[in-house]
A and B are shown apart, each in its own frame.
Chain A
Amino acid sequence: MSSSPQPAPSAQTLLSIRSVAKRFGNREILKRISLDVAPGEFLTILGESGSGKTTLLRLVAGFEQLDSGEIWMADQRLDQQPPYRRPVNTVFQNYALFPHLSVFENIAYGLRAAKTTNGEIPARVTQALDMVKMGEFIASPPSRLSGGQQQRVALARALVNRPRVLLLDEPLSALDANLRRQMQIELKSLQREVGITFIFVTHDQEEAMALSDRIALLRAGVLEQVGPPREIYGRPKTSYAAQFIGQTNLLPAEVHDGLASSGAIVWRTFEAAGKAMYSLRPECIRLVPVLAQASSDASLARFRGRIRNQTFGGAMDLLEVDCGDSQTLRAKIAAPGPLGGEQVFEFFADDAIRLDDQGGA
Chain B
Amino acid sequence: MKTVEMPKMGDTMEEGRILRWIKQEGDPVNKGESLAEVETDKVNIEIESFASGVLRKILVPEGASAPIGAGIALIGAPDEPLPDSLSGNGSVKASATKEMEKGTTASEGSEQTLREAKGDYRAKQTSVQSPTDAGSQGRIFISPIARRIAEEQELDYSRVEGTGPNGRIIKLDIEAALAQKQETLAPSTPARLPILEATEATEIPLTAMRRTIAKRLSQSMQTAPHFYVTSVIDTGKLADLRRQINEYAQKESDPVKVSFNDLIVKAVAIALVRMPQVNVSFAEDRLILKKQVHIGMAVALEQGLIVPVIRNADQRRVLAIARESQRLAELARAGKLRPEDFSGGTFTVSNLGMFDVDSFTAVINPPESAILAVGSITPTPVVVDGQVVVRDRMKVTLSSDHRAIDGATAARFLQEVKRLLEEPFGLLL
Chain B associates with chain A:
no
* Chain A residues engaging chain B, CB cutoff 8 angstroms: none
**Chain B residues in the interface with A (C-beta under 8 A):** none
